[in-house]
A and B are shown apart, each in its own frame.
Chain A
Protein backbone atom coordinates (compact mmCIF):
# COMPACT_ATOMS: atom_id res chain seq x y z
CA UNK A 1 0.00 0.00 0.00
CA UNK A 2 1.34 3.42 -0.94
CA UNK A 3 1.23 5.55 2.20
CA UNK A 4 2.43 8.82 0.63
CA UNK A 5 -0.91 9.97 -0.87
CA UNK A 6 -2.70 9.19 2.40
CA UNK A 7 -0.21 11.23 4.39
CA UNK A 8 -0.41 14.07 1.91
CA UNK A 9 -4.23 14.17 2.15
CA UNK A 10 -4.10 13.92 5.93
CA UNK A 11 -1.61 16.74 6.23
CA UNK A 12 -3.66 18.89 3.86
CA UNK A 13 -6.77 18.28 5.91
CA UNK A 14 -5.00 18.81 9.22
CA UNK A 15 -2.76 21.74 8.44
CA UNK A 16 -4.22 23.74 5.62
CA UNK A 17 -6.94 26.13 6.55
CA UNK A 18 -9.00 27.06 3.47
CA UNK A 19 -8.87 30.74 2.66
CA UNK A 20 -5.73 31.39 4.72
CA UNK A 21 -2.47 32.40 3.09
CA UNK A 22 0.72 30.51 3.82
CA UNK A 23 2.10 33.12 6.27
CA UNK A 24 -0.99 33.09 8.44
CA UNK A 25 -0.82 29.31 8.55
CA UNK A 26 2.86 29.31 9.47
CA UNK A 27 2.14 31.83 12.21
CA UNK A 28 -0.76 29.78 13.52
CA UNK A 29 1.33 26.61 13.69
CA UNK A 30 4.16 28.50 15.31
CA UNK A 31 1.71 29.57 18.02
CA UNK A 32 0.52 25.96 18.41
CA UNK A 33 4.09 24.74 18.74
CA UNK A 34 4.83 27.49 21.24
CA UNK A 35 1.79 26.56 23.36
CA UNK A 36 2.72 22.87 23.19
CA UNK A 37 6.30 23.52 24.23
CA UNK A 38 5.19 25.89 27.00
CA UNK A 39 2.71 23.34 28.35
CA UNK A 40 5.00 20.35 28.48
CA UNK A 41 8.49 21.79 28.55
CA UNK A 42 7.92 25.25 30.06
CA UNK A 43 9.42 24.41 33.44
CA UNK A 44 12.38 22.67 31.86
CA UNK A 45 12.97 25.65 29.58
CA UNK A 46 12.80 28.00 32.55
CA UNK A 47 15.25 25.72 34.39
CA UNK A 48 17.73 25.93 31.52
CA UNK A 49 17.37 29.71 31.25
CA UNK A 50 18.09 30.09 34.98
CA UNK A 51 20.92 27.58 34.73
CA UNK A 52 22.50 29.66 31.95
CA UNK A 53 22.09 32.83 34.01
CA UNK A 54 23.76 31.23 37.03
CA UNK A 55 26.48 29.81 34.78
CA UNK A 56 27.18 33.28 33.38
CA UNK A 57 27.46 34.73 36.87
CA UNK A 58 29.66 31.82 37.88
CA UNK A 59 32.10 32.71 35.08
CA UNK A 60 32.11 36.25 36.37
CA UNK A 61 32.65 35.06 39.96
CA UNK A 62 35.52 32.85 38.80
CA UNK A 63 37.08 35.79 37.01
CA UNK A 64 36.74 37.98 40.12
CA UNK A 65 38.13 35.19 42.33
CA UNK A 66 41.13 34.67 40.02
CA UNK A 67 41.79 38.39 39.83
CA UNK A 68 41.59 38.60 43.63
CA UNK A 69 44.10 35.79 43.99
CA UNK A 70 46.39 37.47 41.45
CA UNK A 71 46.20 40.83 43.23
CA UNK A 72 46.97 39.17 46.57
CA UNK A 73 49.97 37.29 45.15
CA UNK A 74 51.29 40.41 43.40
CA UNK A 75 50.91 42.47 46.60
CA UNK A 76 52.77 39.83 48.61
CA UNK A 77 55.58 39.69 46.04
CA UNK A 78 55.85 43.47 45.89
CA UNK A 79 55.64 44.25 49.59
CA UNK A 80 56.86 41.10 51.26
CA UNK A 81 59.71 40.23 48.86
CA UNK A 82 59.60 36.50 49.63
CA UNK A 83 62.52 34.28 48.67
CA UNK A 84 60.26 31.61 47.15
CA UNK A 85 57.09 31.75 45.08
CA UNK A 86 54.21 32.47 47.50
CA UNK A 87 51.52 31.06 45.16
CA UNK A 88 51.13 27.56 46.71
CA UNK A 89 51.03 29.04 50.20
CA UNK A 90 48.44 31.66 49.13
CA UNK A 91 46.32 28.88 47.60
CA UNK A 92 46.49 27.01 50.88
CA UNK A 93 45.59 30.18 52.77
CA UNK A 94 42.51 30.71 50.61
CA UNK A 95 41.16 27.36 51.76
CA UNK A 96 41.47 28.07 55.51
CA UNK A 97 38.32 27.63 57.54
CA UNK A 98 37.16 28.32 61.08
CA UNK A 99 34.90 26.02 63.03
CA UNK A 100 32.64 27.94 65.38
CA UNK A 101 32.09 26.55 68.89
CA UNK A 102 29.32 24.11 69.66
CA UNK A 103 26.16 25.94 70.76
CA UNK A 104 24.09 23.06 72.19
CA UNK A 105 24.89 24.44 75.64
CA UNK A 106 25.21 28.17 74.88
CA UNK A 107 26.50 29.22 78.32
CA UNK A 108 30.01 30.62 77.94
CA UNK A 109 29.99 30.38 74.15
CA UNK A 110 31.21 33.99 73.75
CA UNK A 111 34.52 33.20 75.45
CA UNK A 112 34.94 30.05 73.41
CA UNK A 113 34.23 32.02 70.23
CA UNK A 114 36.66 34.72 71.28
CA UNK A 115 39.36 32.12 71.85
CA UNK A 116 38.77 30.54 68.44
CA UNK A 117 38.87 33.97 66.78
CA UNK A 118 42.11 34.84 68.61
CA UNK A 119 43.68 31.60 67.42
CA UNK A 120 42.51 32.32 63.88
CA UNK A 121 43.89 35.85 64.03
CA UNK A 122 47.28 34.69 65.35
CA UNK A 123 47.45 31.96 62.72
CA UNK A 124 46.66 34.40 59.92
CA UNK A 125 49.27 36.88 61.14
CA UNK A 126 51.95 34.17 61.39
CA UNK A 127 51.08 32.93 57.94
CA UNK A 128 51.28 36.43 56.43
CA UNK A 129 54.64 37.03 58.15
CA UNK A 130 55.93 33.84 56.59
CA UNK A 131 54.53 34.83 53.19
CA UNK A 132 55.90 38.38 53.36
CA UNK A 133 59.04 38.45 55.50
CA UNK A 134 59.98 42.03 54.54
CA UNK A 135 56.60 43.55 55.47
CA UNK A 136 56.34 45.82 58.52
CA UNK A 137 53.47 45.62 61.03
CA UNK A 138 51.20 47.97 59.02
CA UNK A 139 51.86 46.10 55.78
CA UNK A 140 51.28 42.73 57.50
CA UNK A 141 47.85 43.98 58.59
CA UNK A 142 47.07 45.25 55.08
CA UNK A 143 48.17 42.01 53.46
CA UNK A 144 46.13 40.02 55.96
CA UNK A 145 43.06 42.05 54.98
CA UNK A 146 43.87 41.57 51.28
CA UNK A 147 44.09 37.81 51.75
CA UNK A 148 40.88 37.77 53.77
CA UNK A 149 39.06 39.55 50.92
CA UNK A 150 40.53 37.04 48.43
CA UNK A 151 39.39 34.27 50.77
CA UNK A 152 35.85 35.67 50.88
CA UNK A 153 35.76 35.75 47.05
CA UNK A 154 37.01 32.19 46.88
CA UNK A 155 34.32 31.08 49.32
CA UNK A 156 31.50 32.89 47.49
CA UNK A 157 32.60 31.34 44.19
CA UNK A 158 32.78 27.84 45.66
CA UNK A 159 29.38 28.02 47.34
CA UNK A 160 27.63 29.26 44.18
CA UNK A 161 29.45 26.65 42.10
CA UNK A 162 28.37 23.96 44.58
CA UNK A 163 24.68 24.82 44.29
CA UNK A 164 24.93 25.27 40.52
CA UNK A 165 26.43 21.81 40.05
CA UNK A 166 24.06 20.28 42.58
CA UNK A 167 21.06 21.80 40.80
CA UNK A 168 22.37 20.65 37.43
CA UNK A 169 23.08 17.15 38.69
CA UNK A 170 19.71 16.67 40.36
CA UNK A 171 17.82 18.74 37.75
CA UNK A 172 16.23 20.51 40.68
CA UNK A 173 14.45 23.66 39.62
CA UNK A 174 14.17 24.78 43.22
CA UNK A 175 17.90 24.74 43.93
CA UNK A 176 18.67 26.72 40.77
CA UNK A 177 15.73 29.05 41.41
CA UNK A 178 17.03 29.91 44.88
CA UNK A 179 20.54 30.76 43.64
CA UNK A 180 19.18 32.71 40.69
CA UNK A 181 17.06 34.78 43.08
CA UNK A 182 19.86 35.69 45.48
CA UNK A 183 22.43 36.07 42.69
CA UNK A 184 22.15 39.89 42.31
CA UNK A 185 22.93 40.33 46.01
CA UNK A 186 25.77 37.80 45.87
CA UNK A 187 27.27 39.51 42.83
CA UNK A 188 27.06 42.87 44.55
CA UNK A 189 28.94 41.51 47.52
CA UNK A 190 31.55 39.84 45.32
CA UNK A 191 32.10 43.06 43.36
CA UNK A 192 32.46 44.95 46.64
CA UNK A 193 35.13 42.51 47.84
CA UNK A 194 36.88 42.82 44.48
CA UNK A 195 37.23 46.57 44.88
CA UNK A 196 38.22 46.05 48.52
CA UNK A 197 41.18 43.94 47.42
CA UNK A 198 42.92 46.86 45.74
CA UNK A 199 42.06 49.16 48.64
CA UNK A 200 43.57 46.70 51.12
CA UNK A 201 46.62 46.04 48.98
CA UNK A 202 47.35 49.78 48.66
CA UNK A 203 46.32 50.66 52.24
CA UNK A 204 43.50 53.01 51.22
CA UNK A 205 40.83 53.98 53.77
CA UNK A 206 37.58 52.08 53.25
CA UNK A 207 33.98 53.06 53.99
CA UNK A 208 33.84 50.84 57.06
CA UNK A 209 36.61 52.95 58.60
CA UNK A 210 34.43 56.06 58.98
CA UNK A 211 33.98 55.37 62.73
CA UNK A 212 37.75 55.18 63.13
CA UNK A 213 38.06 58.38 61.04
CA UNK A 214 35.73 60.25 63.40
CA UNK A 215 37.80 59.11 66.40
CA UNK A 216 41.04 59.98 64.58
CA UNK A 217 39.78 63.48 63.83
CA UNK A 218 38.85 63.96 67.48
CA UNK A 219 42.12 62.62 68.91
CA UNK A 220 44.52 64.12 66.38
CA UNK A 221 47.10 66.33 68.08
CA UNK A 222 46.62 64.75 71.52
CA UNK A 223 48.97 62.17 73.04
CA UNK A 224 47.79 58.61 72.49
CA UNK A 225 48.54 55.43 74.39
CA UNK A 226 47.91 51.82 73.51
CA UNK A 227 45.12 49.86 75.16
CA UNK A 228 44.31 46.18 74.75
CA UNK A 229 43.83 44.93 72.20
CA UNK A 230 45.31 46.72 69.16
CA UNK A 231 43.56 49.96 70.12
CA UNK A 232 44.70 53.46 71.05
CA UNK A 233 43.12 55.98 73.41
CA UNK A 234 43.59 59.74 73.75
CA UNK A 235 42.27 61.99 76.49
CA UNK A 236 40.59 64.90 74.74
CA UNK A 237 38.80 67.86 76.35
CA UNK A 238 35.43 68.37 74.59
CA UNK A 239 32.92 71.01 75.71
CA UNK A 240 34.36 71.05 79.24
CA UNK A 241 34.17 67.25 79.59
CA UNK A 242 36.99 64.72 79.50
CA UNK A 243 36.57 62.40 76.57
CA UNK A 244 38.47 59.15 76.21
CA UNK A 245 38.59 58.71 72.46
CA UNK A 246 39.24 55.12 71.36
CA UNK A 247 40.01 53.66 67.95
CA UNK A 248 41.87 50.71 66.49
CA UNK A 249 45.56 51.40 65.99
CA UNK A 250 46.22 52.59 62.44
CA UNK A 251 47.15 53.04 59.71
CA UNK A 252 47.32 49.28 59.05
CA UNK A 253 44.16 47.29 58.36
CA UNK A 254 42.95 46.56 61.87
CA UNK A 255 39.68 46.60 63.81
CA UNK A 256 41.18 45.96 67.23
CA UNK A 257 39.07 44.85 70.15
CA UNK A 258 37.00 47.87 71.15
CA UNK A 259 35.21 45.72 73.74
CA UNK A 260 38.42 45.20 75.68
CA UNK A 261 39.48 48.83 75.22
CA UNK A 262 36.18 50.20 76.57
CA UNK A 263 36.29 47.77 79.50
CA UNK A 264 39.85 48.86 80.33
CA UNK A 265 38.96 52.56 80.32
CA UNK A 266 35.81 51.99 82.40
CA UNK A 267 37.78 50.00 84.98
CA UNK A 268 40.59 52.58 85.04
CA UNK A 269 37.93 55.16 85.95
CA UNK A 270 36.21 52.78 88.43
CA UNK A 271 33.02 52.97 86.40
CA UNK A 272 32.72 56.76 86.72
CA UNK A 273 31.81 57.35 83.10
CA UNK A 274 28.81 59.56 82.33
CA UNK A 275 28.11 58.10 78.91
CA UNK A 276 29.61 56.08 76.09
CA UNK A 277 29.20 57.16 72.47
CA UNK A 278 29.97 54.62 69.78
CA UNK A 279 30.40 55.60 66.13
CA UNK A 280 30.22 53.03 63.37
CA UNK A 281 29.31 52.59 59.72
CA UNK A 282 25.94 50.91 59.24
CA UNK A 283 24.24 49.36 56.26
CA UNK A 284 21.76 51.72 54.68
CA UNK A 285 18.40 50.72 53.31
CA UNK A 286 17.76 51.28 49.61
CA UNK A 287 16.50 54.82 49.11
CA UNK A 288 18.57 56.24 51.98
CA UNK A 289 21.44 58.58 51.15
CA UNK A 290 25.05 57.48 51.46
CA UNK A 291 26.66 59.28 54.38
CA UNK A 292 23.41 59.95 56.24
CA UNK A 293 24.06 60.29 59.98
CA UNK A 294 21.62 58.77 62.46
CA UNK A 295 21.57 58.52 66.21
CA UNK A 296 20.31 55.92 68.64
CA UNK A 297 21.17 53.85 71.69
CA UNK A 298 23.07 50.61 72.09
CA UNK A 299 26.48 49.25 71.24
CA UNK A 300 27.15 50.13 67.61
CA UNK A 301 29.55 47.40 66.64
CA UNK A 302 29.36 44.58 64.13
CA UNK A 303 31.47 41.48 63.79
CA UNK A 304 30.87 38.12 65.44
CA UNK A 305 29.36 39.71 68.58
CA UNK A 306 32.14 39.13 71.11
CA UNK A 307 32.97 42.83 71.52
CA UNK A 308 29.32 43.84 71.68
CA UNK A 309 28.78 41.25 74.42
CA UNK A 310 31.75 42.53 76.42
CA UNK A 311 30.64 46.16 76.13
CA UNK A 312 27.09 45.29 77.20
CA UNK A 313 28.36 43.25 80.17
CA UNK A 314 30.59 46.09 81.36
CA UNK A 315 28.03 48.88 80.97
CA UNK A 316 25.44 46.77 82.74
CA UNK A 317 27.79 46.24 85.68
CA UNK A 318 28.33 50.01 86.09
CA UNK A 319 24.93 51.11 84.72
CA UNK A 320 26.50 53.38 82.11
CA UNK A 321 24.24 54.78 79.37
CA UNK A 322 25.37 54.03 75.83
CA UNK A 323 24.62 56.04 72.68
CA UNK A 324 25.33 55.29 69.06
CA UNK A 325 25.97 57.45 66.04
CA UNK A 326 25.91 55.65 62.72
CA UNK A 327 26.93 56.66 59.22
CA UNK A 328 24.92 54.93 56.54
CA UNK A 329 26.42 53.24 53.50
CA UNK A 330 25.82 50.09 51.47
CA UNK A 331 27.91 46.92 51.50
CA UNK A 332 29.82 48.03 48.39
CA UNK A 333 30.80 51.33 49.99
CA UNK A 334 31.72 49.65 53.27
CA UNK A 335 34.55 47.56 51.82
CA UNK A 336 35.66 49.73 48.91
CA UNK A 337 37.77 52.92 49.07
CA UNK A 338 36.01 55.60 51.11
CA UNK A 339 33.57 57.76 49.15
CA UNK A 340 33.66 61.53 49.46
CA UNK A 341 30.14 61.58 50.95
CA UNK A 342 31.22 59.19 53.70
CA UNK A 343 34.39 61.15 54.37
CA UNK A 344 32.38 64.35 54.72
CA UNK A 345 29.86 62.61 56.97
CA UNK A 346 32.63 62.27 59.59
CA UNK A 347 32.37 66.02 60.34
CA UNK A 348 28.59 65.80 60.63
CA UNK A 349 29.02 62.87 63.05
CA UNK A 350 31.44 64.94 65.16
CA UNK A 351 28.81 67.70 65.40
CA UNK A 352 26.25 65.13 66.55
CA UNK A 353 28.68 63.77 69.15
CA UNK A 354 29.30 67.25 70.55
CA UNK A 355 25.57 67.89 70.69
CA UNK A 356 25.02 64.57 72.44
CA UNK A 357 27.73 65.35 74.99
CA UNK A 358 26.15 68.74 75.72
CA UNK A 359 22.67 67.24 76.09
CA UNK A 360 23.47 64.08 78.03
CA UNK A 361 26.37 65.05 80.29
CA UNK A 362 27.40 67.96 82.46
CA UNK A 363 30.67 69.83 82.71
CA UNK A 364 33.49 67.88 84.31
CA UNK A 365 31.99 64.49 83.37
CA UNK A 366 34.01 61.76 81.73
CA UNK A 367 32.81 60.22 78.52
CA UNK A 368 34.06 57.48 76.25
CA UNK A 369 33.92 58.01 72.48
CA UNK A 370 34.70 54.89 70.51
CA UNK A 371 35.16 54.93 66.74
CA UNK A 372 34.53 51.41 65.45
CA UNK A 373 35.70 49.98 62.14
CA UNK A 374 38.68 49.02 60.07
CA UNK A 375 41.29 51.74 60.43
CA UNK A 376 43.15 50.93 57.23
CA UNK A 377 44.69 54.10 55.78
CA UNK A 378 43.77 56.16 58.85
CA UNK A 379 46.42 57.23 61.31
CA UNK A 380 45.84 58.94 64.65
Chain B
Protein backbone atom coordinates (compact mmCIF):
# COMPACT_ATOMS: atom_id res chain seq x y z
CA UNK B 1 0.00 0.00 0.00
CA UNK B 2 1.44 3.36 -0.95
CA UNK B 3 1.59 6.35 1.36
CA UNK B 4 -1.11 8.16 -0.60
CA UNK B 5 -3.48 5.22 -0.25
CA UNK B 6 -2.86 5.09 3.50
CA UNK B 7 -3.78 8.77 3.81
CA UNK B 8 -6.92 8.47 1.75
CA UNK B 9 -8.02 5.43 3.77
CA UNK B 10 -7.41 7.27 7.00
CA UNK B 11 -9.58 10.13 5.86
CA UNK B 12 -12.57 7.78 5.43
CA UNK B 13 -12.44 6.67 9.06
CA UNK B 14 -15.41 8.13 10.91
CA UNK B 15 -14.29 11.02 13.06
CA UNK B 16 -15.26 10.80 16.76
CA UNK B 17 -17.30 13.93 16.25
CA UNK B 18 -19.43 12.14 13.67
CA UNK B 19 -20.61 9.54 16.20
CA UNK B 20 -23.82 10.02 18.17
CA UNK B 21 -23.39 9.41 21.89
CA UNK B 22 -24.63 5.92 22.83
CA UNK B 23 -26.22 7.40 25.96
CA UNK B 24 -28.29 9.78 23.85
CA UNK B 25 -29.27 6.97 21.46
CA UNK B 26 -30.33 4.74 24.39
CA UNK B 27 -32.37 7.54 25.94
CA UNK B 28 -34.10 8.22 22.61
CA UNK B 29 -34.77 4.50 22.14
CA UNK B 30 -36.26 4.09 25.65
CA UNK B 31 -38.43 7.15 25.19
CA UNK B 32 -39.63 5.91 21.82
CA UNK B 33 -40.55 2.50 23.23
CA UNK B 34 -42.49 4.12 26.09
CA UNK B 35 -44.26 6.46 23.66
CA UNK B 36 -45.26 3.60 21.36
CA UNK B 37 -46.43 1.57 24.36
CA UNK B 38 -48.55 4.53 25.45
CA UNK B 39 -50.12 4.63 21.98
CA UNK B 40 -50.97 0.91 22.15
CA UNK B 41 -52.36 1.26 25.66
CA UNK B 42 -54.39 4.19 24.47
CA UNK B 43 -55.98 1.98 21.84
CA UNK B 44 -56.71 -0.66 24.52
CA UNK B 45 -58.26 1.92 26.84
CA UNK B 46 -60.37 3.29 24.00
CA UNK B 47 -61.58 -0.20 23.12
CA UNK B 48 -62.58 -0.84 26.74
CA UNK B 49 -64.54 2.42 26.84
CA UNK B 50 -62.10 4.27 29.14
CA UNK B 51 -62.02 7.45 27.02
CA UNK B 52 -60.26 9.80 29.48
CA UNK B 53 -57.36 7.41 29.96
CA UNK B 54 -57.22 6.80 26.21
CA UNK B 55 -57.00 10.53 25.53
CA UNK B 56 -54.26 11.00 28.16
CA UNK B 57 -52.23 8.08 26.79
CA UNK B 58 -52.70 9.29 23.24
CA UNK B 59 -51.34 12.73 24.15
CA UNK B 60 -48.41 11.19 26.04
CA UNK B 61 -47.67 8.88 23.11
CA UNK B 62 -47.73 11.64 20.54
CA UNK B 63 -45.60 13.97 22.67
CA UNK B 64 -43.08 11.13 23.15
CA UNK B 65 -42.84 10.29 19.45
CA UNK B 66 -42.61 13.97 18.51
CA UNK B 67 -39.84 14.61 21.09
CA UNK B 68 -37.83 11.61 19.86
CA UNK B 69 -38.11 12.74 16.25
CA UNK B 70 -37.08 16.27 17.21
CA UNK B 71 -34.04 15.11 19.20
CA UNK B 72 -32.95 12.78 16.35
CA UNK B 73 -33.42 15.58 13.82
CA UNK B 74 -31.37 17.96 15.98
CA UNK B 75 -28.56 15.40 16.31
CA UNK B 76 -28.50 14.99 12.54
CA UNK B 77 -28.45 18.77 12.07
CA UNK B 78 -25.49 18.96 14.47
CA UNK B 79 -23.62 16.40 12.38
CA UNK B 80 -24.30 18.39 9.24
CA UNK B 81 -23.06 21.54 10.92
CA UNK B 82 -19.80 19.81 11.88
CA UNK B 83 -18.44 20.01 8.35
CA UNK B 84 -16.06 22.90 7.74
CA UNK B 85 -17.82 25.00 5.15
CA UNK B 86 -15.82 26.40 2.28
CA UNK B 87 -17.63 29.51 1.07
CA UNK B 88 -17.55 30.21 -2.68
CA UNK B 89 -14.98 32.89 -3.44
CA UNK B 90 -15.24 34.98 -6.58
CA UNK B 91 -12.43 36.67 -8.46
CA UNK B 92 -13.17 39.80 -10.49
CA UNK B 93 -10.89 40.43 -13.45
CA UNK B 94 -10.93 43.85 -15.07
CA UNK B 95 -9.35 45.48 -18.06
CA UNK B 96 -7.95 48.81 -16.96
CA UNK B 97 -8.11 50.16 -20.50
CA UNK B 98 -11.65 49.37 -21.71
CA UNK B 99 -13.28 48.43 -18.40
CA UNK B 100 -14.30 44.93 -19.57
CA UNK B 101 -15.07 42.86 -16.50
CA UNK B 102 -15.32 39.12 -15.90
CA UNK B 103 -16.16 37.26 -12.71
CA UNK B 104 -15.09 33.69 -12.09
CA UNK B 105 -14.50 31.31 -9.18
CA UNK B 106 -11.26 31.78 -7.26
CA UNK B 107 -8.31 29.71 -8.47
CA UNK B 108 -5.22 28.92 -6.48
CA UNK B 109 -2.56 31.52 -7.24
CA UNK B 110 -5.01 34.40 -7.72
CA UNK B 111 -4.26 37.59 -5.83
CA UNK B 112 -5.49 41.17 -5.98
CA UNK B 113 -3.53 43.21 -8.59
CA UNK B 114 -2.22 40.12 -10.35
CA UNK B 115 -1.98 40.46 -14.10
CA UNK B 116 -3.82 37.64 -15.80
CA UNK B 117 -5.31 36.82 -19.23
CA UNK B 118 -5.44 39.19 -22.16
CA UNK B 119 -8.63 41.25 -22.62
CA UNK B 120 -10.98 39.83 -25.27
CA UNK B 121 -11.86 43.33 -26.47
CA UNK B 122 -8.63 45.32 -26.55
CA UNK B 123 -5.85 42.73 -26.15
CA UNK B 124 -4.49 44.47 -23.05
CA UNK B 125 -3.40 42.53 -19.96
CA UNK B 126 -6.25 42.21 -17.47
CA UNK B 127 -5.93 42.66 -13.73
CA UNK B 128 -7.53 40.92 -10.77
CA UNK B 129 -9.27 43.76 -8.97
CA UNK B 130 -11.31 41.93 -6.36
CA UNK B 131 -11.43 38.64 -4.49
CA UNK B 132 -14.21 38.21 -1.99
CA UNK B 133 -16.96 35.96 -0.69
CA UNK B 134 -20.62 36.80 -0.55
CA UNK B 135 -22.49 36.14 2.67
CA UNK B 136 -26.23 35.85 2.46
CA UNK B 137 -27.66 36.49 5.89
CA UNK B 138 -30.99 34.69 6.05
CA UNK B 139 -33.94 36.61 7.49
CA UNK B 140 -31.84 39.16 9.32
CA UNK B 141 -34.20 41.71 10.83
CA UNK B 142 -33.02 45.29 11.41
CA UNK B 143 -32.40 46.06 15.07
CA UNK B 144 -35.12 48.16 16.73
CA UNK B 145 -32.49 49.89 18.91
Name A residues whose Cβ lies closer than 8 Å to a Cβ of B. Answer: 23, 52, 56, 59-60, 62-64, 66-67, 70, 85, 194-195, 197-198, 202-205, 213, 216, 220, 250-251, 287, 336-343, 377-380
Shortest A106–chain B CB gap in Å is 40
In the complex, chain B residues whose CB is within 8 Å of the CB of A85: 3
User: How far, in angstroms, from A62 to B16 measured CA to CA in the complex?
Assistant: 8
Is B109 in contact with A203, judged by CB distance below 8 angstroms?
A: yes
A377, B111: Cβ atoms closer than 8 Å = yes
Residue of A nearest to B87 (CB): A337
- Closest CB in chain A relative to B143 CB, distance in Å: 6
Is there an interface contact between A377 and B108, defined as CB atoms closer than 8 Å?
no
Contact A195 B135, beta carbon cutoff 8 Å: no
- Please determine whether A378 and B113 come into contact, CB atoms closer than 8 angstroms: yes
Q: Known: A63-B17, A339-B135. Is A377-B112 also a contact (CB below 8 A)? A: yes
Considering only CB atoms and an 8 Å cut-off, how many residues of chain B contact the other chain? 32
Q: Is the CB of A340 within 8 A of B16?
A: no
Q: Does B9 sit within 8 A of A, measured CB to CB? A: no
Decide yes or no whether B48 CB sits under 8 A from chain A.
no
Task: Give complex CA distance A160, B97 in Å.
Answer: 54
If A60-B82, A337-B87 touch, does A251 touch B132 (CB 8 Å cutoff)? Answer: no
In the bound complex, residues from chain A placing their C-beta under 8 Å from that of B16 are 59, 62-63
B113 pairs with A194, CB closer than 8 A: no
- B131 contacts A377, CB within 8 Å? yes
- Nearest residue (CB) in B for A380 is B113
CB of B133 within 8 A of CB of A202, answer: no
Which DSSP category, helix, strand, loop or mixed, fits chain B's interface? Answer: loop
Task: Give 21 CB contacts A-B under 8 Å.
Answer: A23-B56, A59-B17, A60-B82, A62-B17, A66-B15, A194-B84, A195-B85, A198-B84, A202-B108, A203-B110, A204-B106, A216-B113, A250-B111, A251-B111, A337-B89, A337-B133, A338-B132, A339-B132, A340-B132, A378-B111, A378-B112
Residues on B with C-beta less than 8 A from A343 are: 130-132
B134 at the interface (CB under 8 A from A): yes
> Considering the complex of A and B, which 10 residue pairs feature the smallest CB-CB distances, nearest first?
A63-B17, A251-B111, A379-B113, A59-B17, A343-B132, A340-B132, A337-B133, A378-B112, A194-B84, A377-B111
The answer to the question of B80 belonging to the interface, with a C-beta cut-off of 8 Å to chain A, is: no
**What chain B residues lie within 8 Å of A62 (beta carbons)?**
15-17
Interchain CB contact under 8 A, A70 and B112: no
Name the CB-closest residue of B to A219.
B113
Contact B133 A338 (CB under 8 A): yes
Q: How many angstroms between the C-alpha atoms of A194 and B56 in the bound complex?
A: 49
Q: Judge whether B18 and A251 touch: CB under 8 Å.
A: no
| B113 close to A338 (CB less than 8 A) | no
Q: Known contacts A194-B84, A195-B87: does B143 contact A216 (CB below 8 Å)? A: no
B86 at the A interface (CB under 8 A): yes
The residues of A that contact B114 with a CB separation of less than 8 Å are 251, 379
B 47-66 to A, binary, CB cutoff 8 A, 1 in contact else 0: 00000010010000000000
A28 to B101, CA, bound (A): 73
B11 part of interface (Cβ distance < 8 Å)? yes
Q: Can you name the residue of chain A whose Cβ is closest to the Cβ of B10?
A: A70
A339 touches B143 (CB 8 A): no
Contact status A379-B111, CB under 8 Å? yes
Smallest CB–CB gap between A4 and chain B, Å?
28
CB-contact partner of B89 in A204, A341, A378, under 8 A: A204
Smallest distance from the beta carbon of A168 to chain B beta carbons, Å?
15
Q: Do residues A205 and B111 form an inter-chain contact, with CB atoms below 8 A?
A: yes
Residue of chain A at shortest CB distance from B113: A379
* Cα of A338 to Cα of B82 in the assembled complex, Å: 22
- Residues from chain A with Cβ under 8 Å of B108 in the complex: 202-203
Please report the C-alpha to C-alpha distance between residue A337 and residue B131 in the assembled complex, in whole angstroms.
9
